[in-house]
Amino acid sequence: MLNWREIAIGGLLFSFSLVFSLAAAEVLTRSLFPQPTYQGLGQTPGFFQPSAIVPWELKPDFVGTFIEADNRMTVHINKHGFRGGAFELEKRPGVRRLLVLGDSFTFGVGVEDDETYSAQLQQILDSHASGFEVINAGWAAGTSPDSYYAYLKQRAVSLHPDTIVIGLFVWNDITDSFENLWQETDQYGLPTRLESRARRINELGQLVLKPGQRGAQYVYPAPLSLLNDSQFYSLAMRFYHRATYEWERLTGEEIIYGHSPSYVFSLYTIHQPPYPQKLEEKFKVTLKLLEGLKRFADGNQLDFYVLLIPTDAQVHPEMWKKWRALGANGPLIATPNGADEPQARLGQLLSAAGIQYLDLLPAFRRAALKGETLYFPIDGHWNVQGHRLAAESLAEAIMHRLRSAPCIKTGTQANCSIEAKAA
């Protein structure tokens, strides 16, 4: 029969082993699989603010340091709520203004203001001719085509653009609209006002999940404040949520993310056709939105492009291993066999609709074969070289457009691709 002394010694040994194991796990996680933490969220600048039209917009006249997994950058938001230098709303005579909308790739997570592809596009165009003005509207109108549509319908007139570019990240921009609620629509059934069902702006101006929501790309407050700075806890929570999503997917239960089917479900299959019905529906909605954007552009005599942004694993195949190891923050089930999707599907849909598009995947693969690294190794955004190649490719497409006629819809055999040859 154990006495109290033996119980105490056993308890101490167990406690010591537990603390040592957790400490070792923390060290290994920080060394091998660095993770964002809830405590680290406080280091992210609060440059978001609520919007009356789209889920959020950028806070005018903001300056701060943005700490990311791979880098830290200084962010300047000008007085009009766009990243980058100042400009006047009233366009100068003879100026050709380009408005570039998109998600975190277009915003330029990981790089400085003058290193984003919009800023480098400005530099390249200036080297060829005068009179161009490029506005980086990344993150200024949400992260999905439905929010871009609502934003442009309400705000584009005041910005006086001549060209609209939509930077479409093929991994999740198609499915980000899962979480949006269309509150008002126009005569075409497309949104003119919407809000996010899952995300909100906190009192610090940071983008966080609403109470009761969950998502694989977010960090969560821990029950003990000590764990809020633990990268091992963040990793464990990612695996927990990945396991939850997998169970729901395999058992056929509907996955809920902000009261709508989770885009995480789609991320697992975005590179692997045939697509499930919910994802097919999102392709149809995305095409309808892009057709609406083209209709708006045509009605206002504006040029319109869609820029297809590839995932890092499509360009650097070794990244597949990273995404599988990191949990539910990447295309874990995707394989290199389906690496040309969804670009092939999107290209067919865009050409059939007469929408000019630029698929960056061929140019990025050519650059990768030459030994260039175009993405940050951890979070998968473009590094400076990636932004440079995107800017060079887009500049070539724009100059090509100015020298030739636009793509005209001629049915399913049309090809509106402008291949990037800048690599």
User: Is the per-residue pLDDT at 249 higher than 70?
Assistant: no
User: Tell me, what amino acid is at 349?
Assistant: L
| DSSP result, 220-231 | ---SSGGGGG-H
* Amino acid 157: pLDDT: 84
pLDDT classification of 4: cutoffs 50, 70, 90: confident
* Helix, strand, coil % in the chain, rounded to nearest 5: 40, 20, 40
What pLDDT does residue 262 have?
Answer: 39
Tens of pLDDT, residue by residue over 97-149, are: 999 999 999 999 999 999 999 999 999 999 988 899 999 999 999 889 999 99
Q: Is 19 exposed, middle or buried (0-12, 13-18, 19+ CB in 10 A)?
A: exposed
Q: What is the mean pLDDT of residues 32-39?
A: 67
Q: Which two tokens mark 107?
A: 């915003």
pLDDT in tens, 284-319: 999 999 999 999 999 999 999 999 999 998 899 888
359 against 410, higher pLDDT? 359
Cα–Cα–Cα angle for 330, 335, 337, rounded to 5 degrees: 145
> Could you tell me if 57 and 48 are in contact, meaning their C-beta atoms sit under 8 angstroms apart?
yes
Lowest mean pLDDT among 122-126, 227-231, 243-247: 243-247
- Tokens 């001549």 locate to 162
| pLDDT value at residue 181 | 92
Lowest mean pLDDT among 65-79, 134-148, 150-164: 65-79
Q: Which residue has the higher pLDDT, 26 or 84?
A: 84
What would the mean pLDDT of 34-52 be, rounded to a whole number? Answer: 72
| Segment 85-100 mean pLDDT | 94
Helix axes 277-299, 145-159, angle to 10 degrees: 10
Q: How do residues 360-384 score in pLDDT, each as one tens digit?
A: 999 999 999 999 999 998 778 999 9
pTM, rounded to two decimals: 0.80
Read off the tokens for 367. Answer: 């650059």
66 strand-pairing partners: 73
Q: What pLDDT is recorded for position 21? A: 84
Top-confidence residue, 6 or 371: 371
Cα–Cα distance for residue pair 293/303, rounded to 1 Å: 11
Best mean pLDDT range from 68-77, 235-244, 271-280: 68-77
Q: What is the pLDDT of residue 327?
A: 44
Residue 242 has pLDDT above 70, yes or no: no
* The predicted structure's pLDDT at residue 257: 34
* Spatial separation of the C-alpha atoms in residues 149 and 176, rounded to whole Å: 14
Contacts of 59 (CB under 8 A, 6+ apart): 46, 47, 48, 49, 77, 81, 205
What is residue 258's predicted lDDT score, i.e. its pLDDT? 32
Q: For 373-423, how does the pLDDT look when each residue is reduced to its tens digit (9 = 90+)?
A: 999 987 789 999 999 999 999 999 888 877 765 564 444 445 666 554 443
> What does the pLDDT read at residue 256?
35
Residue 387: what pLDDT?
A: 98
Whether residue 138 contacts residue 121, with contact meaning beta carbons closer than 8 Å, is answered with: no
Q: How many beta carbons lie within 10 A of that of residue 63, not counting itself?
A: 10
Q: pLDDT confidence of 264, banded at 50, 70, 90?
A: very low
pLDDT higher than threshold 50 for residue 232? yes
Q: Which residues contact 215 (CB under 8 A, 6 or more apart)?
A: 198, 209, 241, 257, 262, 264
Copy the structure tokens of residue 262: 């989770």
What six digits make up the tokens of 34?
């660095």
